[in-house]
Structure 1
Amino acid sequence: MTTKLIIDTDPGVDDAFAIALAALSDDVDLLGVTTVFGNVGVETTTRNARRLLALCKRGDVPVAQGAARPLVHEHPHRARYAHGADGLSGRSAALPEAERPVEAGGAVWLLSRLLEQSDEPVTIAPIGPLTNIASLLSVRPDLHHKIARVVIMGGALLHGNTTAAAEFNIWSDPEAAHRVLTGGEVPCVLVPMDLTYRCAVDLEWLDALTASGPVGAALTALTPDYLAHYRKALGWDGMVIHDAVAVAEVIRPGILRTVAVPVAVETSFGPSRGATVVDQRRPELRADTDGATTTTASTTVHTAVDTDLDALRAFLLERLTMR
């Protein structure tokens, strides 16, 4: 079965792996890519996305530039400390130049057009801040039924990576994340960093990808700054390809084990801003305390909590070395 997919992204090294994963998979109909601010500014994320598609020889895929800032408040900083000044360890210029121009209408316009034209529901994979998706859901409620599910890389159950409480994508625009995750309008799957960290790959995995051919070698060439960051974060030589884990769930539904739980997003300006509050209590206890929390059954999100780690890594490597 072929999955119709739109990726919303802020490339980013792990975004690069996720885009390639979708672009190289024969059972994915990659309808389009939209870009958003995040790891670096939106002009740079747009250029990176176009060049990554060119690397995968997918010039047929339209790219539209989206939000340059969050819905409400200014974005405090980018993630250059992990991804480098250009989002790709300073090596984006080594990728081929894109030939297809950027779509003129912008991200929300392209998202709307692709949904309108599709003859079946489409999966959207936001792997950056959720600004574009919140805008889409707000301005085009008539298209909600065209969305099969929204598979989001973001959030954290225990602790964050940008702050003690918040994961980067959600922290970058908490108001947008609140709109998407608590609106209850479309089915959402949340792939939090607790799980993606457990799916980290080692140097042996990266060496196998490098040896697979030009695309694999080009992807691993983008990783030096990212590897240096994750050497600190993990305490060993490896890296976390967060976004590719979420796209794996898009391609092979059920490769991640999920639980349906209420989720809220902290939007106040305290130390927990951007935290995803995931209610993991037993449903019976939640029912007894109904009214003590703002989360309700309508905000239930399928949250990824586990996977067969070896099988997932093997799946990612197999798909990234297909061509």
Structure 2
Amino acid sequence: MTIRILLDTDIGPDCDDVGAVAVLHALEKLGEVRIAGMTHCTSSQWGAGCLDALNRFYGRGDIPIGTLTMPGFLDGDSGYAKYNKGITLGYPNRYQTEPAPDAVETMRKVLAEGEDGETVIVAIGPLINVMNLLESEGDLYSPLNGMQLVSAKVSMLIAMGGHFPAGKEWNFEMHPASAAYVVAKWPTPIVFSGFEIGAPIHTGRSLTADLPDTHPLRKAYEWYVGEGETRHSWDLTAVLYAARGHHPFWELESGTATVDAQTGANDWKHNPNGNHAYLKAITSPSLVAEVLDNLMTR
């Protein structure tokens, strides 16, 4: 069964978002997923253009794009534009000079156009767009409010966030209120790929050798970490799990997660019947890295 994916990403603060997009397109070409839409969850002016440029490069310039329209969130640090500005200005896309649509509007349109229970949302950044989706009201795409629309259309939320079973991680820390809200209120199952999953999985070393120097994936990694260097694979694991499930690399620990709305720190309560689960590694990180590197360079 082909899985319908809506990707929400903070593309910019780390290059593994570009790796995740590349993996997602490879999985689509293999017939394992169908990319229905992408949204960007920071205020950076370069996020939507970067996503659209990547999608066009991979032959999917039709993918709907949306972006956070609230100003001032993770857009003031030049370190957050090491590659997304270069990709936006250096490759064809719709958003070099004009603004992208609002992320929640895009999410609602994508969900409304899907069948009931058909869509998986993969969130690989702070959860502000996901929170805003839950709080949205009915519109021209659906009379349902956000909670009703998600309940009807989304089978699962897969979130790269948290540090399990308990700890702190950047995506949750950057907007603790949204992380706490989404984890507490989300009406369908959530699976977390935590910090500890992607940290030991290093990918990207083969990009310089296997891809031309004009390839945007290679450029993004070289601009961010340097030529021939690797990066942790937090976001890539969430995408891989969305397509292929936990076997053979991980097992699922079921229970209930909570997030502190002030600090973003997460905690965990084991419950075999809980609506949440997190990935637990059961194989060598190098085995996962090999699969991801092969997908990135297809």
- Give the TM-score category using the shorter length: 0.7 to 0.9
Contact (CA 8 Å) 1:45, 1:87: kept in 2 or not?
A: no
Alpha carbons of structure 1 residues 122 and 79: separation in structure 2 relative to 1, 3 Å = farther
**Equivalent position of 1:275 in the other structure:** 265
| SS of 1:155 mapped into structure 2 | coil
**Equivalent position of 2:242 in the other structure:** 250
For normalisation by structure 2, the TM-score amounts to 0.81
**Equivalent position of 1:176 in the other structure:** 178
The question of 1:142 aligning with 2:140 is answered no
Q: Deviations over 1:6-48 (max 9, x none)?
A: 10111131111111111232221101101111xxx33222222
Q: AA paired with 1:279?
A: K
**Equivalent position of 1:232 in the other structure:** none
Alpha carbons of structure 1 residues 147 and 278: separation in structure 2 relative to 1, 3 Å = same
Q: Which of 92, 105, 110 in structure 2 is aligned with 1:97?
A: 92
Alpha carbons of structure 1 residues 215 and 247: separation in structure 2 relative to 1, 3 Å = farther
Q: Which of 115, 124, 136 in structure 2 is aligned with 1:119?
A: 115
Alpha carbons of structure 1 residues 114 and 212: separation in structure 2 relative to 1, 3 Å = same
Distance in 2 separating the partners of 1:98 and 1:90? 12
RMSD across aligned C-alpha pairs, in angstroms? 2.9
- Aligned counterparts, 1:1-323, within 5 A: 1-12=1-12, 13-25=15-27, 26=29, 27-37=32-42, 41-68=43-70, 84-88=79-83, 91-92=86-87, 95-99=90-94, 105-120=101-116, 121-139=118-136, 140-143=146-149, 144-157=151-164, 166-201=168-203, 206-207=205-206, 209-214=207-212, 217-224=215-222, 226-227=224-225, 238-255=230-247, 256-268=250-262, 273-279=263-269, 300-308=275-283, 309-322=285-298
Q: AA paired with 2:287?
A: A
- Runs of at least 5 residues in structure 1 that lack an aligned partner in the other structure: 160-164, 229-236, 285-296
Displacement of 1:109: 1.4
Distance in 2 separating the partners of 1:146 and 1:179? 19
**Equivalent position of 1:293 in the other structure:** none
- Runs of at least 5 residues in structure 2 that lack an aligned partner in the other structure: 137-145
| SS of 1:17 mapped into structure 2 | helix
Distance in 1 separating the partners of 2:105 and 2:77? 29
Displacement of 1:221: 2.4
| SS of 1:48 mapped into structure 2 | helix
Contact (CA 8 Å) 2:169, 2:265: kept in 1 or not?
A: yes
**Equivalent position of 1:233 in the other structure:** none
Q: AA paired with 2:268?
A: V
Distance in 2 separating the partners of 1:114 and 1:217? 28
Q: AA paired with 2:92?
A: E
Alpha carbons of structure 1 residues 133 and 264: separation in structure 2 relative to 1, 3 Å = same
Distance in 1 separating the partners of 2:50 and 2:157? 23
Alpha carbons of structure 1 residues 68 and 14: separation in structure 2 relative to 1, 3 Å = farther
Q: Which deviates further from its counterpart, 252-261 or 97-106?
A: 97-106
Distance in 2 separating the partners of 1:5 and 1:24? 13
Distance in 2 separating the partners of 1:217 and 1:152? 28
| SS of 1:136 mapped into structure 2 | helix
Contact (CA 8 Å) 1:36, 1:68: kept in 2 or not?
A: no
Matched residues, number: 276
Contact (CA 8 Å) 2:82, 2:224: kept in 1 or not?
A: no
Q: Deviations over 1:192-233 (max 9, x none)?
A: 1111102223xxx522x33333499531322245437xxxxx
Displacement of 1:79: 9.2
Alpha carbons of structure 1 residues 277 and 8: separation in structure 2 relative to 1, 3 Å = same
Q: Which deviates further from its counterpart, 149-158 or 10-19?
A: 149-158
Identity of aligned residues (%): 21
Distance in 1 separating the partners of 2:60 and 2:82? 20
Displacement of 1:186: 1.4
Alpha carbons of structure 1 residues 227 and 177: separation in structure 2 relative to 1, 3 Å = same
Distance in 1 separating the partners of 2:69 and 2:85? 23
| SS of 1:119 mapped into structure 2 | coil
Contact (CA 8 Å) 1:153, 1:243: kept in 2 or not?
A: yes
**Equivalent position of 2:139 in the other structure:** none
Distance in 2 separating the partners of 1:28 and 1:215? 28
Alpha carbons of structure 1 residues 31 and 53: separation in structure 2 relative to 1, 3 Å = same
For normalisation by structure 1, the TM-score amounts to 0.75
